[in-house]
Each structure stands twice: as structure tokens, then as C-alpha cells.
């Protein structure tokens, strides 16, 4: 029987959950899953259940959910630093969804000896000229709670918001300051990620039904990293970890394979 998940607090205050500690005890590298904007580590629950034989770490990024009490991160670099600290000396694989993909790539750049492979599912690239325009000032000028609700409705849909309990809606609104800070920071004229320095194998993912700019982001990244693998999930939109957990778990396993980690038996 697999070891039960263990919840704890990493140095600095991040809320962390470890899964598959029996794999960790066997000396296998760690796979860290990084959630996107206005999300939390628990959103990977369905995926984690399909990653038997792998030591998986999920966590709430600074400013979100159980890590909300931490000082706010106002830059991508701050989130990258948190992930690098969580990875430590490795060896590790990091896989990010949406904004978490930017964080994962940043960690692979900053900790090349520890991160053996990196996966990014539809990471946002707002510095690209074809990305939908919105200025940082227009984001920071809104009430964070109202902005968070509007963001959720745009990404998940009005029906998704209506299905949330009052407590869940309040929690999402409370994540507004973290959401505003990270989205405003990404509105740049040039990329904060120098992919010419990336040495770890890169696996990119996208949904077959995702919006055009999310799909185009993968093509743009392949131009910068020609040896990257691309995994497409048919029928999926941006929220693949929730809607297509089997396929997303297969995406994670592909990243693990690129790292040279032995597959579970």
C-alpha cells in the first residue's frame, strides 16, 4: 500500500503536501507540480492519484490558499525562488500548469544541477506581441477581490463560479492580491525567461480545444527550444489537470521519462 500523503510547511512558510513517500524512500527523484494563477496545489489531486510509484510534491504558491499568510510575491522571480528552495539539491522534475509553467521553467534555469527535466502546460507569454493586450496598470487599478472573481469567470466560466460554495468563492476572492501581483508583473516588453540558458529537457503541453493564444504559445516556445517535446491533449482546454487527469498524468510521466527517471513498475 502506498504511503499516505503528508502535509507540512516548507522553510519560509509554503504549504506543502508530499505524496508517494514510499517512492522517496526508495531514492527516486521528486516531481514537483506547480499550480497556475488563482489556483492551488489541491487542483492536482486527480492527477496525483494517477502517478503511482512517483514521489510527488504539491504546494500552494505564496499568496494562495494555505500559503496566503506569507508576504506577497510581486514578481515571477519570487515564485521561482520559492520553487528552487523547495527543490533544494534535487534531483527533481518540475511540472507547471499555466503560470506555474513559467515558474517551473524559471526554476530549471536557476537550478540546472537540481532540476533534471521541466514540463510546462500552456504557460502564458504576455510579452509576445500577439498575446491579448492588457496593461499592468489596468490590472492593479482593479479591486483584487473583484478582479479574482472576473478572472475565474473568464477562465472557468460563469457556471463554474456559480457551482462554488460561498466559502470557496470567498477563498478565491482572498487570493486576489496574489493574482493581481503576478499578472501585472508578467506584463513586460521582453521575456523574463532566457531560454537560451535552458539545459534541462523541456516538455510542453497544450489542449486540443484551448484558445488560440494558449496554443500559439507552445509553437513560440518550440521555436526557442527546438528539441522540446510537445504533448497535445485532445478534447482538453486550459484546465486539463481537472478535466483530463489521465492525460495530464501521462504528460507528467513523459517529463519524468525525459529526466531519465526509471518508470514505476
Tens-place pLDDT, residues 80-125: 999 999 999 889 999 999 999 999 999 999 999 999 999 999 999 9
- Give me the pLDDT at residue 131, please: 92
- Give me the pLDDT at residue 1, please: 46
Task: Summarize pLDDT for 136-145 with one digit per residue, the tens.
Answer: 777 877 899 9
Q: Between 264 and 24, whose confidence is greater?
A: 24
In the chain, the N- to C-terminal Cα span, in Å, equals 14
- The band of 262, judged by pLDDT with boundaries at 50, 70 and 90, is low
| pLDDT at residue 135 is higher than 80 | no
| pLDDT at residue 26 is higher than 80 | no
- Give me the pLDDT at residue 25, please: 60
The maximal CA–CA distance of the chain, rounded, in angstroms, is 52
Q: CA-to-CA distance for 213 and 23, rounded, in angstroms?
A: 38
- Give me the pLDDT at residue 24, please: 65
What is the DSSP annotation of 73-141? Answer: P-SHHHHHHHHHHHHTT--EEEEEETHHHHHHHHHHHH-TTTEEEEEEES---TTSTTSPP--HHHHHT
- Residue-range domains of the chain with CATH: 6-126+192-259 (3.40.50.1820)
- The band of 265, judged by pLDDT with boundaries at 50, 70 and 90, is very low
- Give me the pLDDT at residue 47, please: 97
Task: Summarize pLDDT for 156-191 with one digit per residue, the tens.
Answer: 888 889 999 999 999 999 999 999 999 989 988 899
pTM, whole model, 2 decimals?
0.93
Share of the chain above pLDDT 70, in %: 94
Any residues with CB less than 8 A from the CB of 99 and at least 6 apart, and which? 36, 37, 123, 124, 182, 186
Which is it for the CA torsion 155, 46, 214, 80, positive or negative? Answer: positive
Q: CA-to-CA distance for 231 and 83, rounded, in angstroms?
A: 24
- Give me the pLDDT at residue 7, please: 81
Task: Summarize pLDDT for 212-256 with one digit per residue, the tens.
Answer: 999 999 999 999 999 999 999 999 999 999 999 999 999 999 999
Distances (CA, A) of 213 to 93, 112, 130, 204, 239: 26, 29, 8, 15, 15
| pLDDT at residue 264 is higher than 60 | no
CB atoms within 10 A of CB 265: 4
Indicate the DSSP class of residue 258.
H
Amino acid at each position: 500500500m502506498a504511503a499516505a500523503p503528508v502535509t507540512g510547511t516548507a522553510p519560509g512558510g509554503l504549504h506543502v503536501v508530499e505524496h508517494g513517500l514510499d517512492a522517496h524512500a526508495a531514492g527516486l527523484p521528486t516531481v514537483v507540480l506547480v499550480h497556475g494563477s488563482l489556483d492551488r496545489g489541491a487542483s492536482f489531486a486527480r492527477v496525483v492519484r494517477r502517478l503511482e510509484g512517483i514521489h510527488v510534491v504539491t504546494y500552494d504558491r505564496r499568496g494562495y490558499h494555505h500559503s496566503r499568510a506569507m508576504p506577497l510575491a510581486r514578481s515571477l522571480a519570487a515564485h521561482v525562488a520559492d520553487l528552487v528552495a523547495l527543490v533544494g539539491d534535487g534531483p527533481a522534475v518540475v511540472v507547471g500548469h499555466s503560470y506555474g509553467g513559467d515558474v517551473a521553467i524559471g526554476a530549471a534555469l536557476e537550478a540546472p544541477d537540481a532540476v533534471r527535466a521541466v514540463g510546462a502546460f500552456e504557460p502564458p507569454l504576455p510579452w509576445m506581441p500577439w498575446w491579448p493586450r492588457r496593461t499592468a496598470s489596468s490590472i492593479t487599478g482593479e479591486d483584487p477581490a473583484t478582479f479574482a472573481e472576473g478572472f475565474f469567470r473568464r477562465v472557468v466560466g460563469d457556471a463554474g463560479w456559480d457551482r462554488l460554495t460561498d466559502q470557496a468563492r470567498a477563498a478565491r476572492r482572498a487570493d486576489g492580491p496574489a493574482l493581481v501581483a503576478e499578472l501585472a508583473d508578467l506584463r513586460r516588453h521582453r521575456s523574463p525567461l532566457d531560454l537560451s540558458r535552458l539545459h534541462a529537457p523541456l516538455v510542453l503541453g497544450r489542449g486540443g480545444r484551448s484558445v488560440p493564444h494558449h496554443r500559439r504559445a507552445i509553437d513560440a516556445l518550440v521555436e526557442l527550444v527546438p528539441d522540446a517535446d510537445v504533448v497535445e491533449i485532445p478534447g482538453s482546454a486550459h484546465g486539463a489537470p481537472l478535466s483530463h487527469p489521465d492525460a495530464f498524468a501521462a504528460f507528467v510521466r513523459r517529463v519524468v521519462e525525459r529526466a531519465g527517471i526509471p518508470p514505476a513498475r
